[in-house]
Structure 1
């Protein structure tokens, strides 16, 4: 796979602001997270436009393609080209052109839907309730959870902020981190959308040919259904989140056999679906 343009956007822009504090005001420069439309085009046909932070778009496209069921494995993608249109007269945007195997492309055409994704939304554009994919794959038992250190979740919670460079600058981006059995964070990706950050992480792992069943995901967000669904599709055995889960996230995790923990802190967490 190749990338046409490798120069990512910085992930933030500076904007002038007026700060008000204790009755006084002053003009300053503030860093704001970038949010761009990103078009995903498969074999020349546009399938989705997602609102993303325009960084790590090759990893995002691979992760999205896998977690949305467009492809079954990373090798189903023959080529990727990313183009940034940051000087557009209309709106800065990016386009990702993917060449996928014919079988995946024909299946995509059969179930093609118009989908304009908004920040924080994972199911925009579907035409009916029946099109919701609520039947997750069963996560294989590879023995990873048995090897998980007792303080792994607490360690990941303690260290996540060290990997949130853009969040520290802007205060407005989510992070998705990949952790080993000790809770050490091996890599992390940021985006204005929590599901985009997860897609970037999963895409990176696939591009690096790492085993997605031998680690866990730590998210700086709530646990919603689509995050659990995406993780189950690639066999992730556990998700930990800083904020609360939804009822559907708990239900999907139970169906998939995926361990779900939330309200993860340096000294505590809450585990769901326990007897």
Structure 2
């Protein structure tokens, strides 16, 4: 499943003038495209994504949504199209394809809504297996990490407007960085890259440059990532679910020490 590597120049230059001035400037703006995703020729979703690392996204999107259980469930990925319209055609195992079709039937509803009824609540608040639990990363692996992230974000360096998800291994080295206009998409791309490159996440952690919402937790737990670090504070519900599912959840503030929200502090009840 070869894929052309993303170029740091995945952006376009546009002219603008500052309000009150007639002098023209140029800025690099992030690109995006519509990506239609299908499984065994059955259309499943259309997502707005940054047009790079699309195979990583297709794999991570499938894993993160629970539509496949393993990279081995995907037999082939065919990326088609150019410019603002792309397709990701996945050939998956018959077992996974049956589950995808069942989910489509459950979520069928009014075309004007996004998620409908009780089944939609089940999807938004799914039953997930708890992780086995893992030690917290050493403090030194988090110190200075904000500065190191900037060195990895090649696309955002040109245009901004991009979220990033990174994997830091057990030695504290940044192994992977994936960027996208969508924070969910960036994590999907990272999960897909870990699966495609068969990188063992044991002892490492994922970092997202966005706020940490419940959907990101779902993806991390399904991918078996033991520790999730975010540059923005998590929501209260995300902390509750992280503790329930034994996911280490850490917020990395700008000017203070890392804040561990999960596991809960041992003296929390007496505080």
How would you bin the TM-score normalised by the shorter chain? 0.7 to 0.9
Query: What is the CA-CA distance between 1:223 and the residue it aligns to?
Result: 0.5
Q: Aligned match of 2:234 in 235, 238, 245?
A: 245
> Match for residue 121 of structure 1?
none
Q: Which moved more, 1:106-115 or 1:201-210?
A: 106-115
* TM norm structure 2: 0.87
How many pairs were matched up?
255
Give the secondary-structure state (helix, strand or coil) at the position aligned to 1:111: helix
Matches of 2:254 and 2:30 in 1, distance apart?
25
> Match for residue 47 of structure 1?
44
Give the secondary-structure state (helix, strand or coil) at the position aligned to 1:213: coil
> Match for residue 14 of structure 2?
15
Give the secondary-structure state (helix, strand or coil) at the position aligned to 2:161: coil
Query: What is the CA-CA distance between 1:168 and the residue it aligns to?
Result: 1.8
Matches of 1:59 and 1:137 in 2, distance apart?
24
Matches of 1:243 and 1:25 in 2, distance apart?
37
Query: What is the CA-CA distance between 1:150 and the residue it aligns to?
Result: 2.1
Q: Which moved more, 1:67-76 or 1:132-141?
A: 132-141
Matches of 1:76 and 1:70 in 2, distance apart?
10
State how 1:137-152 maps to structure 2 within 5 Å: 137-141=129-133, 143=134, 145=135, 148-152=137-141
Matches of 1:169 and 1:105 in 2, distance apart?
39
**CA deviation string 1:54-96 (max 9, x = no partner):** 100000000111110110000000000101232xxxxx21100
* TM norm structure 1: 0.86
Contact 1:83 1:95 in 2 (8 A): yes
Matches of 2:237 and 2:30 in 1, distance apart?
29
Distance 1:199 1:131, change over 3 A: closer
Q: Aligned match of 2:27 in 27, 30, 51?
A: 30
Contact 1:223 1:249 in 2 (8 A): yes
> Match for residue 268 of structure 1?
257
- Give the unaligned 5+ runs of structure 2: none
Query: What is the CA-CA distance between 1:193 and the residue it aligns to?
Result: 0.3
